[in-house]
Amino acid sequence: MESWLTPLSASLLYVEDDPLSRELVCTALARKWPDLQLVTAANGEEGLRLYQDQHFDLVLTDICMPIMDGIQMVEKILALDPDAKIIAATAISDTHFMLDAIQAGVSRYVLKPFDFKLLFATIGEILSQVTLGRRLERQSGLIRQLSHAVEQGPGMVIISDAAGNIQYVNSRFSAVTGFQPGDVIGQNMRARLAGDAGPEYADTVWGEISQGKEWRGELVNLKKGGERYYEEVIVSPLTTTGGTIANFVAVIEDISERKRAEEKIRSLIEELEHRVRSTHGGPEMPRA
């Protein structure tokens, strides 16, 4: 599966009836963009059929061609895909066709014989737009996945700004603590990092994370109804590309059941030690 960091490839359909022109332009394009998927067609009918089979990121087409000219093909492609990116090319002597091409909906036009510097600039601009749009779409999909994971995940999540003011809590936090987002958003995270340990402990934690360090530890906090519960906390700073802290993220697990189980085990060990001492008068059993 691609990640959003994976370089994006692009595809171009070049429609030109002259075989020498096709070979020359394809060679130049392949040298300029080695990863570009390049497909050619000899006339508009063939180009339309290829586009129906595979929607290309960009179409570069001649205007004057046999069987089906470029303008007819452009109109039919845009009927299939109104967002299609199309560059029309025509000889200087046939520029009267260019108005028809523009009215048909071409994105750009270039004159033949090609000025390759201008042709590359025109193609590069459109490919950059296509690539950026696809990258943003893929990043948006990743953000939606991450948001779903944070919101529906088993752990409690708190996000604050750089000053510690809470900006977000997920639904798991509300389910465990009873506090709704409106109860805590705007409050400072330090209060939750204090727990039963008090403000001095919170200052120690804050000092570590403010230096860009991750902090892990266990706290005892209160639910909205006043019930005490145990939590295991990881607080991580999120930094900008310049290294400045922009946010803090706390991932919290309710470990109350684990603590109760540990306490029960300790009680059983103490009871067993007491029985051994009462029965045999022996030394205490070593504790793990």
pLDDT digits (tens, 9 = 90+) for 100-118: 666 666 777 788 888 889 9
Per-residue pLDDT tens digits for 153-162: 678 999 999 9
Q: Is residue 66 part of a domain?
A: yes
Long-range CB pairs of 69-75 (<8 Å, 24+ gap) are: 69/44, 70/15, 70/44, 70/101, 71/97, 71/100, 71/101, 71/104, 72/44, 73/15, 73/44, 73/45, 73/47, 73/48, 74/101, 74/104, 74/105, 74/106, 75/104, 75/105
Q: Do 39 and 123 share a domain, yes or no?
A: yes
Give the pLDDT of residue 230: 92
Last residue of a domain, one of 116, 147, 178: 147
For residue 2, the model assigns a pLDDT of: 42
| Residue ending a domain, choose from 100, 116, 147 | 147
What's the predicted TM-score (pTM) here? 0.52
* pLDDT exceeds cutoff 90 at 29: yes
Nearest to 208 by CA among 178, 182, 177, 245: 245
> Does 127 lie in the same domain as 26?
yes
Smallest CA-to-CA distance from 154 within 221, 219, 251 is with 251
Is residue 288, in this structure, part of any structural domain at all?
no
Which residues, at least 6 apart from 81, have a Cβ–Cβ distance to it below 8 Å? Answer: 51, 55
Domain shared by 250 and 160, yes or no = yes
Q: Are residues 65 and 132 in the same domain?
A: yes
130 pLDDT above the threshold of 60: yes
The residue-averaged pLDDT of 168-186 equals 92
Q: For residue 59, tell me if it sits in a domain.
A: yes
Range of the domain at 32: 11-147
Q: Which two tokens stand for residue 197?
A: 């340990």
Range 110-133 average pLDDT:
87
Structural domains in the chain (count): 2
pLDDT of res. 23: 93
Looking at residue 103, what is its pLDDT? 66
What are the tokens at 232?
Answer: 């295991």
Looking at the domain assignment, is residue 250 inside a domain? yes
Which residue from 237, 257, 233, 261 is spatially nearest to 247, judged by alpha carbons? 237
Asked if 26 and 122 sit in the same domain, the reply is yes
What is the average pLDDT value for the chain, to the nearest integer? Answer: 84
Rounded to whole angstroms, the Cα distance separating 161 from 50 reads 51
Within-domain flag for 235: yes
Together in a domain, 179 and 64? no
pLDDT (0 to 100) of residue 99: 62
CATH assignment at residue 81? 3.40.50.2300
Tens-place pLDDT, residues 43-93? 999 999 999 999 899 999 998 888 998 889 999 999 999 989 999 888 755
Note the pLDDT tens digit of each residue in 252-283. 999 888 888 888 888 888 878 777 777 765 55
